[in-house]
Structure 1
Amino acid sequence: PASEVIEMDDKPTEALRKKKDSSIAVAARLVKDGEGDALIAAGNPGAATAASLLSWRPVPGVYRPAIATPM
């Protein structure tokens, strides 16, 4: 469980630096550590994107993270 929340009007990178125990930061860490397979967020999309870019290595040939992908 996370003890902090990144609000929709927070600046993404600033919020990630200040709120290290936010749900988005915790989820990104869990994926990085192999305890999760994906990060799905219904909150601040900029923070979710920034967390993924700062936490994981990119997939070869993929230059930007997907925000939503139809399946």
Structure 2
Amino acid sequence: MVASMGMNVIPADDLGVRKAISHFYFKDDIQSAETIRRFAENKFSRLMRDCLVYLLMAYRMGL
């Protein structure tokens, strides 16, 4: 999913991705896929894929 064959993309429609980013950056207020996509592109740019891996791990660990 996240690796996407080496491409730097974000599956913003994925509920887990939306929950993780919303948790850490929007005070648990679940954002739309388009908002998540724009936020990630602006905030993480070329490191988007790598940041997403760590955000998902931290969210699943309850950090």
Per the normalisation by structure 2, the TM-score is: 0.30
Q: Per residue, is there more helix in 1 or in 2? A: 2
More relative contact order, 1 or 2 (CA 8 Å, 6+ apart): 2
Structure with greater Cα Rg: 1
